Structures are given as C-alpha cells and as structure tokens.
Structure 1
C-alpha cells in the first residue's frame, strides 16, 4: 500500500509529506509521531533554526522507522531530490568530495524531517567557502559518573570566566542529552587545522584550571569521572547537532540555545519538541546577533604558541583520519610497551 501523502506549504514551497502517523518516539505514543516532529520543525524552521543553519553544509541523522530502528547518517543528498533543495560540495579528510545539503530555506529543514531526519548536523562553515570555519565549537561531554550538573559547573565556573579574560563571547546550548555545547563565532581567516589547535589550547587551559573536573584525554581509559572536552569536534567533517535539533532520546529532547543567565536553572529534559515552540514564542532569541560577532582567533593562537613552548604539541585525530603532520602516535596508553617509546612519546627510532 502506498504511503499516504500530502503537500504542505513551507514559506511558499510545497513539501511532500508521508506517514505522519508513524511513531518515531515510542515512549510518547501518539505525541511522538513523525507528523508531530514535522510540526515541531515547522514551528522553528523559519526563524531561529534557519538562522543557525543558513548556507551550512548539513548531514542528516535519519531514523526512518523511528529512534528504535536503523540509524542512517547521511552525508550526501540523493541524486533524485526536489528542485527546491540546494547542495554544497564538501571535502572529507580522505580527499573525497560530496554534495551535501545546503540549508537556504525552511523547506530544506522540513524535507529533512520528511526523510526521517531526527537531528541535523551542520558543518562549522558557510558555503561556498567550506575550507575556513566560522565557528569554534566546545563540546562539554559528561563521562560515566558525571552528568549535566557537572557540565554546567564547568561551563559557568571555568569556561565562561576564561572566555571573558580572553575577550571572547561564547553562545551556549544544551546538547539535547547530558552535555553542553558552546559556540564561538569567528572570522573566516583560519583553516580547520588552526581552528582545531585553538580549540585544543582552550581545552587544555580549562583542564589546567579544573583538573579534578575536566579532562582532554582522547583515551577513555584515562578520563575518569570528569567532563571530557572533545577537541576533535573542530576537525574537518566532524559535526554537532544544530541548535533546535531534536535528539534521539525517549522524550524527544531538543538542543536548546540559552542565555548564560538561564543556564544555572536549566534542565535539559525541559526542552522537548512539545515544549520548545511555546518557549521560543515567549522570549527573545538568546543567539540573536551571533552572526555580527565574528571574533579573532588570535588570543587562542597565542595560547597554542605558549603550549608549544611548554612542549605540548598536537593531540590525536579520530581513527578514520589520515596521519596528520605533528600528530602524536595513536596508541592507546594501556597498549604501549614502555621499552618501545622515548620520553617524548615517540616510537623508538621513529621520532
């Protein structure tokens, strides 16, 4: 039997929608259908969500049969797609390229939802310049034994004061899970390698100020009950959930932008696809003006130089990346044999 279809008007563009009654979030029952998710995205797509996604190449985290079904992480727009969609060429670490979704209109967001996309994952760049990030992203990722309260403490007590000292402005949001994301809008004068190194320097300084709360260790066995700052979120082709994206949680939480003074009382479970539309209507956009605040990366690059003078160079890339210049060996600490490594962490005879 063919899926029941309808067309909805999205700011002047007709978007075909099917299977509105399919349950995507089983715990929510009739309030967790594909149609409810599409209605949620309709409520935010034309305003604050489009502002955060505009002209960004965007990957889709799809669950066509609901969040308990198969997950498809789609980086390429299908060859057969509606004429109203635009695409943008991105280059992966392997050197291969792809035509990614370029969000230019609310209809692109609704099309993504129709395709079963629960979460949209934008690159930190704007098309057509996909080689120079305009965002530095800080991911405060709770490890086992920690949660949102610990991430919030790091954000408020350590990260924000440090940004103030550096003369930088961060924009905060819930991850939609237990974590916290802070985005810095930056000028497009630096490439992915420089932005990632700046993020590493920032993470290291946070760790120095709160070593009992924070870790930058790439290896899980070394993290302990601390907040991990995932510096590799600033590497090429690494993406984070967009502001206002729904997440794969039983209650359909949303990655919610906040003002800093809202963070102390925030509970990530309060922000869901059922509650966020009214919250957005009832307040000013806390990220308004972010695009007019393109900041210099120089304060963080000075920290990179200072770290290098301390003997602190690059850190490991994710395992699917090619070996990068200056990168330390990607060997899990527990698998190292001491006799095979020098005091600088290089394989003996392979400095």
Structure 2
C-alpha cells in the first residue's frame, strides 16, 4: 500500500515551490515527552518554514551535515554529508576537503524549500560548518562549546559563558550565544575568513586556557574525561574542520523537541533551555525577533588570540589532543588515557615507541 503523502507549497526567493511530504502523520517526537499528541513530520515541516529566515541567516550558504531518523527520535539515526541520490536541483552542494584529505560534495541550504526537503528526508538535527560554501577552508565563525560535566548543570555553563564573554572581548571579538538544545551553551564569534581551521582552533585553545586560568574551579580544558572533574568542559575540538554542532534553530533529537536557540546576553541568566521547543520558537521569534540577526555584521579578527596562543607555546604549553578519527597531528600529546600512560612507551612527539 502506498504511503500517505501531502504536497506543501513553500515560498522561495525565486517563487513558490511544491514539496511532496511522505508520512506526514508519522510521530517524530512521540507523546508525552513532546506534549499532547506528540509532534508529527508535518508539524516539523511547518516549523522549518516558519523559522526559515533566521535558520538560513545562521546556517545557510555553507556545508551542512544532516542527522536523519527514519522512525523518529526513538529510532536509529545516521548522518548524511553527501547529497543522496535523487537530491533535487534546488538543494545546492559544494565540494569540501575532509581531514583525511578526501574531497566530496556536501549539502548547502540556500532557500526554504531545501530545508523542507531535508525534513522530508527525515532530518531532525542540522549540523552546519563554520565556513561558507564559497570559501569552505576558512571559517567565518570561532565556535566554543561549553559542555557541562557530571555534577554540573546549565546554570554552571551560564557562569562560564559570562566569563568567556569577557575573555573573548579582551581578545578583540564580539561573542554571540545560544543554547545547545540540551544542557550546554554554544558561543560563536563572527570572524574575518582569513585563517584556516587549525589556526582558529588554536585561537579557541588560547581563549579557553585564559578562561581556565581565571576560573580553575569552574572550567577545564582537559580532553580526557577522567581529568575534568565537576567543571564545565571548554570543547576546543569543535573548532576543527568537519566537526560540527547543532545549528541555530535546529531541533534536537531529545524528548521535549528542544531547539538550539540564540539568546541575548541580558536574558541568559533567566533562560530555561527546556522551554525552547519546536512549538515555542515561532512565537518567540514573533515576540522578540532573532538575537542573531546581525551575527555577521561586524566580523572580528583572531590576531590577539593567536598572540596568546604563541605566548602559551613559548611558555611550554603546546598542542592539545585531537579527536580520535583525526590523523595524528604535529606536536599532539599521546593518544592514551593519562591513567594508562606509561611514559617510556612514548617519544617527545607523542608517538608510540614500539
């Protein structure tokens, strides 16, 4: 039997476009976690249209990875980076270089219909790169993920965020903030795209180390979980090439249908991240607008942060660990849990001695 299907009319800059939506009544977020009746695929498609302008302002015109769920949040998920077979011509793409050196096309959203198409493809979470499609090797944002560890919560991340804002402003940048859609916070700084990802990562490390010096009992730069304690982890590795976090106004695959939501700094202390949902965000946008509307209006430079990085290197603080899927990087510490490290098994470059 053929699956149920409806046709949606979506307004693009080029005019109206019809998008077929299959299984519109399938529950993406089942009740009761998402409220009475749960949230259907059709309601998610409606949400995508209602938030299309701020969504594209934050996530458009750049490579995006799609986190797709065939059976809603309770089913298995997988990532789509490359345009799948049959991708329509109104969904754009750009060829990017991954950390392995491999090159491949990746999806780019330039119009509302492309977002609705992604919902038709059972996308829930959208993961945009920090760079634009016309220059994918040089980020336009410095991004920092403030990740609460066991024993800490969202309120602790708020305290760390205020401290990080001071550090970044001293470094010559103007930070913007959003909820992660879960327990953490994401801090973005618009930057001039003149440095590649490794340089931006070093700038993030420099800012994180400065924050850690000022708030040693509250934040940590330790990559290994066994060393973090009850502190907020400053996740510097989210600044790497092809490492992404949920984009602004992206839903999360969590009970409650929470959304990663931009907020103004003066409202941060009173924010309840669980209150930002697929059902509440359209009303919030109508009432208060988009706090990130001017995100790219005045990009800053990371020169000062790179000076801090070099200062720390000169003082004996070098490279930090990379994610395990990355190739071994120059100067990287040994990829072994500190409690299991035997010093004589590693050389000064962090390579294992056989």
Deviations 1:64-86 (A, max 9, x none): 10101011111111131112111
Structure 1 counterpart of 2:115: 109
- 1:8 pairs with 2:33: no
C-alpha distance in 1, partners of 2:260/2:21?
A: 24
Q: CA deviation at 1:161?
A: 1.6
- TM-score, structure 2 as length reference: 0.94
Q: CA 1:251–1:333 in structure 2 vs 1: closer, same or farther (change >3 Å)?
A: same
Please give the secondary structure, in 2, of the residue aligned with 1:139: strand
Q: Out of 4, 23, 27, which is 2:27 matched to? A: 23
C-alpha distance in 2, partners of 1:3/1:225?
A: 49
Deviations 1:147-173 (A, max 9, x none): 1010011112x1112223223200100
C-alpha distance in 2, partners of 1:345/1:123?
A: 30
C-alpha distance in 2, partners of 1:168/1:196?
A: 15
1:256-271 equivalent positions in 2, closer than 5 A:
256-271=261-276
- 1:36 pairs with 2:43: yes
Please give the secondary structure, in 2, of the residue aligned with 1:290: coil
Q: Out of 131, 136, 159, which is 2:142 matched to? A: 136
- TM-score, structure 1 as length reference: 0.95
Stretch deviating more after TM superposition (83-92 or 269-278): 83-92
C-alpha distance in 2, partners of 1:51/1:348?
A: 45
Stretch deviating more after TM superposition (1-10 or 187-196): 1-10
Structure 2 counterpart of 1:300: 305
Structure 1 counterpart of 2:202: 197
Q: CA 1:339–1:97 in structure 2 vs 1: closer, same or farther (change >3 Å)?
A: closer
The Cα RMSD (Å) is 1.6
Structure 2 counterpart of 1:337: 342
Structure 1 counterpart of 2:69: 63
Structure 2 counterpart of 1:171: 176
8 A contact 2:331–2:350 mirrored in 1: no
C-alpha distance in 1, partners of 2:28/2:187?
A: 29
Q: CA deviation at 1:50?
A: 1.0
C-alpha distance in 2, partners of 1:150/1:311?
A: 30
Q: CA 1:118–1:235 in structure 2 vs 1: closer, same or farther (change >3 Å)?
A: same
Q: CA 1:348–1:101 in structure 2 vs 1: closer, same or farther (change >3 Å)?
A: closer
8 A contact 2:332–2:349 mirrored in 1: no
Q: Runs of 4 or more off by more than 3 Å in structure 1? A: 338-342, 344-350
C-alpha distance in 2, partners of 1:322/1:240?
A: 21
8 A contact 2:19–2:113 mirrored in 1: yes
Structure 1's unaligned 5+ residue stretches are none
C-alpha distance in 1, partners of 2:29/2:7?
A: 23
Deviations 1:233-273 (A, max 9, x none): 01110011110000011100000100100101001011001
Deviations 1:124-153 (A, max 9, x none): 010121111111101000111111010011
C-alpha distance in 2, partners of 1:119/1:68?
A: 14
Structure 2's unaligned 5+ residue stretches are none
Structure 1 counterpart of 2:90: 84
Q: CA deviation at 1:340?
A: 3.8
C-alpha distance in 2, partners of 1:54/1:268?
A: 24
8 A contact 2:148–2:156 mirrored in 1: yes
- 1:285 pairs with 2:290: yes
1:199-278 equivalent positions in 2, closer than 5 A:
199-278=204-283
Q: CA deviation at 1:326?
A: 2.1
Alignment size in residue pairs? 347
8 A contact 2:169–2:175 mirrored in 1: no
Q: CA deviation at 1:346?
A: 4.6
C-alpha distance in 1, partners of 2:332/2:346?
A: 15
Please give the secondary structure, in 2, of the residue aligned with 1:217: coil
